[in-house]
Amino acid sequence: MIVNIDPFKKFIEIWLYLMLLLIILIVFVGGLTRLTDSGLSITQWELFKGIFPPLNSETWNFYFTQYKQIPEFKEVNFNMSLSEFKVIYYWEYGHRLIARVIGLFSILPLIYLFIKFKAHRRKIQKYFIIFLLICFQGFIGWFMVESGLINNTDVSHYRLALHLSTAFIILSIVFWFILENLKIKKFENSLSQNFLIIFLFLIIIQVILGAFLAGLNGGLLYNTWPDMDGSFFPTDIIIKELFLLESSGNPSVIQFYHRIIAYLILIFLIILNYLFFKKNFSYKPLIVFNFAIFLQVLIGIITLITGVKITYASLHQLGSILVLTSFLFIIYKNS
Tell me the domain boundaries of the chain. 1-183, 188-335
Query: What pLDDT score does 95 carry?
Result: 96
Burial (CB < 10 A; 0-12, 13-18, 19+), residue 181, is middle
- What pLDDT is recorded for position 287? 95
Question: Is the N-terminal amide bond of 226 cis, ω within 30° of 0?
Answer: yes
Q: What is the CA radius of gyration of the chain?
A: 22
Adjacent-strand bridge partners of 231: 228
d(CA 108, CA 101): 11
Quick one: pLDDT at residue 316? 95
Q: Tell me what pLDDT residue 99 has.
A: 96
Q: Helix, strand or coil for residue 102?
A: helix
Distances (CA, A) of 138 to 20, 63, 177: 17, 21, 22
Look at residue 234 and give its three-state secondary structure.
coil
Residue 203's nearest CA partner among 258, 166, 270 is 258
Report how far Cα 301 is from the mean position of its chain's Cα atoms. 19
- Residue 173: what pLDDT? 97
Taking the C-alpha atoms of residue 1 and residue 192, their distance in angstroms, rounded to an integer, is: 44
Q: Nearest 5°: phi and psi at 307?
A: 70, 40
Check residue 275 and give its pLDDT. Answer: 92
Burial of 299 (0-12, 13-18, 19+ CB in 10 A): buried
Which of 148, 170, 156, 157 shows the shortest CA–CA distance to 209? 157
Contact 217/250 with Cβ under 8 angstroms?
Answer: no
Phi, psi dihedral angles at 228 (to 5 degrees): -110, 90
The phi and psi torsions of 231 (rounded to 5 degrees) equal -135, 155
Residues of the chain under the 70 pLDDT cut: 1-4
pLDDT of residue 4: 54
Q: What are phi and psi of 183, to 5 degrees?
A: 55, 55
List pLDDT tens digits, range 74-113: 999 999 999 999 999 999 999 999 999 999 999 999 999 9
Give dist(CA 24, CA 175) in Å, integer: 11
Distance CA(276)–CA(266), nearest Å, equals: 15
The CA distances from residue 301 to 16, 255, 272, 305, in Å, are 33, 12, 23, 6
- Collapsing DSSP to helix, strand or coil, 297 comes out as helix
Q: What gap in Å lies between CA 330 and CA 321, rounded to an integer?
A: 14
User: What pLDDT is recorded for position 2?
Assistant: 44
Report the SS3 class of residue 324. Answer: helix
User: What is the rounded distance in angstroms from the CA atom of residue 104 to the CA atom of residue 84?
Assistant: 31
